[in-house]
Amino acid sequence: MALTADAQRLIDGIAADMKLPMHTSSVGELRASYAARMTAPSTEIHSVRDVVVPSAAGGVPVRVYRPTDEESLPVVMWLHSGGCVFGGLDQNSEYLRKLSLAAGVVVVSVDYRLAPEHPHPAALEDCRIVWDWLVAGPPEVPADVTRAVVAGESAGGTLTFALTQQLRDSAGSLPVAQVSFYGAAEMRVSNPEQRCLIASPEDCEWFWDLYAPDPQSRQFPDVSPGLARDLTGLPPTFVVTAEVDPTRDATEAYAQRLAAAGVDVNLMRYEGVMHGFATMLGALPQARNVFDRTVAFLAPILASPRAGT
């Protein structure tokens, strides 16, 4: 199945503003052109606050979205897309406001360090620092941190998978659920035939070369979570994939292995759309469907405090 007409029009519009495929730009050009496409959010929300989480590297900026002043709401820690090379706190602002309101959650968006200035493991280290800070119940984020979820898109989805494995292996506080929108479970192209101007196979290789320049590192689960041998003991998982995505099959295989290991998994593939579609609310009906299904997935999990707390 080819891209839908809506998806192709969307890509054509992006190509009018940005140089595509992305790997044909320099890192600086890509960051600048992506930032230039961002628009101010229009959805009203109770509060938005920027905080810097202490770290040895000088702090990790986060942005906290709060739908009400209630201090016992669950939390979603959000990890943005961008190949671990571009993106930041201004990314997904409209989407995260809508998610906060619809799911009734405090959203904490993480501005993790980016490659090539900060290659692996910097991004994952920052995510772990923010997670540990968050579940300790910081006064800056009054919430029910016993009901905390990790969620991410693309590179953020990969970091989500890697973080939950790391938390399990180090006896950290696991999230009550994890959500990944087409996060690559392995740093390899499993579907070279699935290509378009967004996230082409060559784009993926370019991002991986910047993020994990040592090819040997891509054989370890903190870079390629799908290569982990033991997948038991991980939290309920919602995985979204796109038909036109060169990393699709490897990611779906990871979801299937999670299920075989006894993890509660909800895997959804969306036909006719490309990697990157899920947060494009208003542009693609499939994105709205993912949004609604994400809220529905989280609702029963976040309905009551974690057992034993």
Pick the closest to residue 274 from 263, 260, 284 (CA basis).
284
* Annotated active-site residue in 109, 154, 180, 190: 154
Q: Is 204 helix (H, G, I), strand (E, B) or coil?
A: helix
| CB half-sphere exposure, 82, CA atoms < 13 A | 26
Please tell me the distance from the alpha carbon of residue 48 to that of residue 63, in angstroms, as a whole number.
Answer: 7
How does DSSP classify residue 151? E
Residue 276 structure tokens = 């990157």
CB 106 within 8 A of CB 48: no
Residue 309 structure tokens = 């707390």
Angle made by CA atoms 186, 95, 114, in degrees to the nearest 5: 45
Q: Is 46 a catalytic residue?
A: no
Strand partners, 108: 64, 77
Strand partners, 155: none
Q: Is 118 a catalytic residue?
A: no
| CB half-sphere exposure, 174, CA atoms < 13 A | 19
For the chain, helix, strand, coil in percent to 5 are 40, 15, 45
Residue 74 structure tokens = 């669950």
Q: Is 245 a catalytic residue?
A: yes
Please tell me the distance from the alpha carbon of residue 20 to that of residue 203, in angstroms, as a whole number.
Answer: 9
- Measured in whole angstroms, how far is the alpha carbon of residue 230 from the centre of its chain? 22
Which residues form the catalytic set? 154, 245, 275
